[in-house]
Structure 1
């Protein structure tokens, strides 16, 4: 069989709702094709009503507005390439184990999104004094068994983040309409925050003068540092600096001689400054070479390191640094819901 016809597949974690992991170790493109973009859902896919589609903005505004797809296409647009990472990415690696979808390294993907800056839309509605948060509600809904109630998926942003120049309401994914499973027709895209903030199937925006207390804001997507206490809890927001070893994969057997170790790195503050490799469990580190995507400040960085592999068993560690001084720690910040894992990544390799 020709190599061109050998393709990877998503890894299934659950089907109801559908949660599928990207084959991240086999993707070498800057833009993740839709068939390989990871899928994260809390509920069943929503039924999309026939066109025309529209988005409403109401609440603490001068004039509630209804925005159609045609309106969006006639407003100033912005195109941004960035990774979306599930806050639970790498959850399977926490020790002690935590409950939830047992994501490994494939709950992160990258695409080029085109849309209208959210602040352009909010200016149309006119924010009134006292506006504190913007609440975004998708079309997907279902029952939360822990609360015995039905909820739409909804999240909020501080008004400052909502007004950020690169927070957009997207209508295109990699140059085409957003795929149904990834939020068609409108999806909020929030750079540098974990993907729970980038609400899919966006239908309503509410401007409020207080803190939003929906369950996906105050119950889920919260760091709880202690197993049996809510002490010191804090919200999940900015992506932690992180990296992945794409090749060679963990527990691989490879040949002696020159081998290329490669992967990707990304962050939520600043940009990636440095990626380092260790072969002695972190005693010493060697710099990898980096490749940035030109003019894309949020895009992940590709890294590689040429290694003269010698026979035996080896453990490869990788860690990334960002320009704000953050570096991947040797041990993750344990929290009982398993968010934000970003400890140094490793691959155990046997060379024959």
Structure 2
């Protein structure tokens, strides 16, 4: 927006998907830097925000361990720390695009953010307690709770032992060099790089080691791929992020002047790095390589761009597909599942040139 030759900066706002509980996504074209500000980081909740104070807060590590412990906030924040820059994406990101439609928060493309998280490695915490032989999973209980199918439950999920003990899985207390905000997990949040956001449990209160398979409602009911509308066969759990991308500029259905324009966006994946991004300006008939704008880093998005001279009186269907180091790429058709997780169909916009 221009006025008297001065650029008037517009402050972006989150897009509300629901108010109680609060669920808001980021306008995707504002994701420019490697760190999304806390105020612009998407918010995903199943229940209302918990009321937690540092004075009354303790983190309990219990279950199939040699020495259970109860730790105060100050004890944990004084431990050796690690910093991880990683994206967090809701597994329901882009759910609004599934056909046939599915129930759930109708996220478009902005249920994703990237930040720098500081905390203590989970493996370091568990080195104090020890883990009993035969341990199988680690369960993480958050401070948020409410009604689900007539029962009062906490948000609670598990990780298999081999994933939980990876060095970059941390119990974080800082986000972008500041204490975690109350809306993003204060005082502690589990960060699990490479997995969808449901694994990064917020308001972490209890860590419990178990020697069985956990079956809480947010583990075996929600966050499961159900391929069929009316039956549960062939279901598999939601885990790592799918390779994916978005087009940030131009906007879908935008009208542009003829001439040279930059098509830009971001691409990301779970357990790997983005190796290439391809663009089609003719609805997928031909593909060309887009330019990658930053060095590849595992668990972080890749910015990409492509410059093209667009001709007058034309309509362009622009498609984008990303490829990663594990041989995965975006499919022509997303894998439909009845709860609407993991949408990663080839990204597409249509623009018109006057």
Give the Cα separation in 1 of the matches to 2:294 and 2:205.
35
The residue number in structure 2 matching 1:344 is 346
**Tell me, which stretches of 5 or more residues in structure 1 are unaligned?**
none
1:63 aligns with one of 67, 84, 97? 67
CA distance in 2, matches of 1:26, 1:104: 14
Task: Report the alpha carbon displacement of residue 78 of structure 1 after superposing the two structures with TM.
Answer: 1.0
Q: Which residue of 1 aligns with 2:292?
A: 290
Residue number among 248, 253, 256 corresponding to 2:255 in the alignment:
253
1:5 is paired with a residue of what secondary structure? coil
Unaligned segments of structure 2, at least 5 residues: none
Displacement of 1:299 = 1.2
**Contact 1:139 1:153 (C-alpha < 8 Å) held by counterparts:** yes
Residues 52 and 69 in structure 1, CA contact (< 8 A), matched pair in contact too = no
Partner Cα separation in structure 1 for residue 258 and residue 91 of structure 2: 37
Q: Name the SS of the counterpart of 1:45 in structure 2.
A: coil
Do residues 235 (structure 1) and 234 (structure 2) align? no
1:293 to 1:56, Cα distance in 2 relative to 1, 3 A: farther
Q: Report the equivalent of 2:216.
A: 214
Shift of 1:292: 2.7
2:195 aligned with 1:193: yes
Once structures 1 and 2 are overlaid, which stretch shifts more, 48-57 or 148-157?
48-57
TM-score (norm 1): 0.97
Q: Which residue of 2 aligns with 1:5?
A: 9
Deviation at residue 232 of structure 1 after TM alignment = 0.2
Shift of 1:50: 4.5
Q: Distance in 2 between matches of 1:129 and 1:264?
A: 43
The Cα shift of 1:3 comes to 3.6
TM-score by length of 2: 0.96
- Supply the distance in 2 between the matched residues of 1:74 and 1:18 (Cα, whole angstroms): 32
Give runs of aligned pairs for residues 87-102 of structure 1, distance below 5 A.
87-102=91-106
Q: Within 5 A, what are the aligned runs for 1:102-251? A: 102-144=106-148, 147-251=149-253
Distance of 2:252 and 2:273 partners within structure 1: 27
Match of 1:74 in 2: 78
Q: CA-to-partner distance for each residue in 1:113-169, whole Å, 9 max, x for gaps?
A: 01111000011110001110000000000001xx21010000000011110011000
Residue 68 (structure 1) shift = 2.2
Distance 2:82 2:305 in 1: 31
Query: Is residue 302 from structure 1 mapped to residue 303 from structure 2 by the alignment?
Result: yes
